[in-house]
Amino acid sequence: MYKILLAQDLVPNIHLFKIAAPAIAEKAQPGQFVVIRIDEIGERIPLTIADWDRDEGSVTIVFMEVGTTTHKLALLQTGDFIADFIGPLGLPTHIEKFGTVVCVAGGFAVATIMPIARAMRQKGNKVISIMGARNKGLIFWEDELRSVSDQLIVTTDDGSYARKGLVTEPLKELLEGEEKVDRVIAIGPSIMMKFCAKTTEPFGVKTIVSLNPIMVDGTGMCGCCRVSVGGVTKFACVDGPDFDGHQVDWELLFARQRIYLDEEKRSFEQWQRSIHR
Partner 1 sequence: MAKLNLNRVPMPRQDPKVRGRNFNEVALGYSLEQAQEEASRCIQCPKRACVDGCPVEIDIPGFINAIREGDMPEAVRLLKDKNSLPGICGRVCPQETQCEATCSLAKKGAPIAIGRLERFVADWERANIGAATSIDSPKPTGKRVAVVGSGPAGLTAAADLAKLGHSVTIFEALHVAGGVLMYGIPEFRLPKDIVQAEVDYVASLGVKLELDSVIGKLVTIDELLNSGYHAVFLGTGAGLPMFLNIPGENLNGIYSANEFLTRVNLMKAYRFPEYDTPVKVGRRVAVIGGGNVAMDSARCALRLGADKVYIVYRRSEVEMPARREEVENAMEEGIEFKLLTNPKQMLGNEQNWVVGMECYEMELGEPDDSGRRRPMVKEGSEFIIDVDVVIVALGTRPNPLIAQTTEGLETTRWGTVVADEETGKAVKDKVWAGGDIVTGAATVISAMGAGKRSAADIDEYLRG
Ligand X SMILES: Cc1cc2nc3c(=O)[nH]c(=O)nc-3n(C[C@H](O)[C@H](O)[C@H](O)COP(=O)(O)OP(=O)(O)OC[C@H]3O[C@@H](n4cnc5c(N)ncnc54)[C@H](O)[C@@H]3O)c2cc1C
Interface positions with ligand X (CB under 6 A): 33, 43, 45-48, 62-64, 66-70, 108, 112, 212-215, 241, 257, 264, 268
The CB-of-124 to ligand X minimum distance in angstroms stands at 27
Q: Give yes or no for a contact between 163 and 172, defined as CB atoms under 8 angstroms apart.
A: no
Beta bridge partners of 243: 209
Quote the least distance from Cβ 91 to partner 1, whole Å: 10
Cβ-based nearer residue to partner 1, 179 or 260: 260
Q: Please, which contacts does 117-123 make with residues 24 or more away whose CB atoms are closer than 8 Å?
A: 117/145, 117/148, 117/149, 118/30, 118/148, 119/30, 119/93, 119/95, 120/95, 120/185, 121/148, 121/149, 121/150, 123/95, 123/96, 123/97
> In the complex with partner 1, which residue's Cβ is closer, 6 or 83?
83
Closest CA to 250 of 224, 230, 276, 223: 230
Q: Which does 33 bind (CB under 5 to 8 A by kind): partner 1, ligand FES, ligand X, none?
A: ligand X
What is the nearest approach in angstroms of ligand FES to the Cβ of residue 106? Answer: 23
Nearer to ligand FES, 107 or 218 (CB): 218
Q: How many CB atoms sit inside 10 A of residue 201's CB?
A: 12
Q: How far is CA 193 from CA 16, 47, 114, 187, 266, in A?
A: 22, 17, 17, 6, 28
User: Which partner, ligand X, partner 1, ligand FES, none, binds residue 83 by CB below 5 to 8 Å per kind?
Assistant: partner 1
Q: Which is nearer to partner 1, 173 or 251 (CB)?
A: 251
Q: How far is the CB of 94 from partner 1 (least distance, A)?
A: 16
- Considering the rule CB under 8 A, would residue 240 count as an interface residue with partner 1? no
89 is a contact residue toward partner 1 (CB under 8 A): yes
| Position among 53, 65, 80, 84 found at the interface with partner 1 (CB under 8 A) | 84
221 belongs to the binding site for partner 1 (CB under 8 A): yes
Q: Which stretch binds partner 1 (CB under 8 A): 10-18, 178-186, 204-212, 252-260?
A: 252-260
Residues that bind partner 1 (CB under 8 A): 23-24, 27, 37, 41-44, 68-69, 83-89, 216-217, 219-224, 226, 228, 233, 238, 251-252, 255-256, 258-260, 263-264, 266-267, 270-271
